[in-house]
Structure 1
Amino acid sequence: MPKRGYHHGNLRQALVDAALELIELRGPTGFTLSEAAKQAGVTPAAVYRHFEGREDLIAEAALQGYEMFADLMDYAYQSGQPSALAAFEATGRAYLAFARKHPGHYISMFESGISINRTPELAAAANRANGVLEKAAADLSQHIPADKRPPASMFSAHIWAMSHGVVELFARNSPGRASPFPPEDLLESGIGIYLRGLGLVAPDR
């Protein structure tokens, strides 16, 4: 791979960017720190001035990913206001868009085995992202009678799991697997079925 080079004072980010490329190509365990250093155009010893090891480097990629993800989810939520339904659906689409646009970050966040509790900063960023979807679920579920209303955390977890499943199976070019429908359509219809089951969307006529 060609050396990337870096500007003085930006080595840390150059290493993260190199790791993201390698993660996208080979997965979170498919590269070494030496390869990340080579990709960034520095010596392996330089890596240890910024990161203790490969997991530390991946954790930084995950942190940056969660920060971007939380911002995107919040933007999607705000763009759907004042309609609670539109805001909720927008967050689902934002999830899929993020996974497609930032695959290296997505893998670091959800497939690397790095705990979100590794650092307080990582936990805060991950919780902020989850909080947006949970708030969207809480807003929408206010229309459900209290005795039949699922907890917002359960509601949002169901949609998160559905979104993640669509990404993993059909939006990431899984070997040997072809999507029977566009991933966006699968996610939208799946969310629609879920919301109809809760009485939040009128049945199809």
Structure 2
Amino acid sequence: MNKLAFLSIFITLFVTLANAIELDFCVGDLSLPRGPEGYVCKDPSTVTTDDFVYTGFRGEKPTTSIFKNNVTLGFVDQFPALNGLGISMARLDIGVGGVIPVHSHRTSEIIILVKGTIIAGFIDTNNKAHYKRLEVGDVMIFPQAMLHFQINIGKTLATAYVSLNGGNPGLQLTTPALFAGNLPAQIVEQITLLSHEEVMRMKKMFGTA
């Protein structure tokens, strides 16, 4: 065996050992600050089965928001048992005519529709839109960081579940980011090419004008 082959085997073995699981789980201790790799582990002696069960998706969800939707997060802050596992979930309820507006995450996302009919899609960095009508049981993937959306085009409530490959994937809604925050109207007008009247209309809609 030559030196290069030996070195390759050694590096592979080292990386494999370095990634070995040292703990069965690391339920996040939300009473302590989050670090770049997540929360500090809760004392294992205090962990119970209930820590591994999340009931936040139960029941009917009102869709009375400005977008006629309700997004129930199952991220690490809501479900601390996800800490360190690199996964999270959310439930999407979209009323008739409602939308999950254009948004993005730090992670990729996969959606499965369990009720209703929607159009779902994402826009890639070439500004090409990939969108499709989804029926119950259909699954679609939204690649990491891509702007994506869902629209209820049916005559009944639509419900979907999404999974993301990160415990804290982040969520940035484009429209509220522009109009619901502290960005001055003049800057919004310049970066969007929208008229002053339209920017002020949107800001008033979000209560920031």
TM-score (norm 1): 0.27
Higher helix share: 1
Higher strand share: 2
Larger Rg, first or second structure (1 or 2): 2
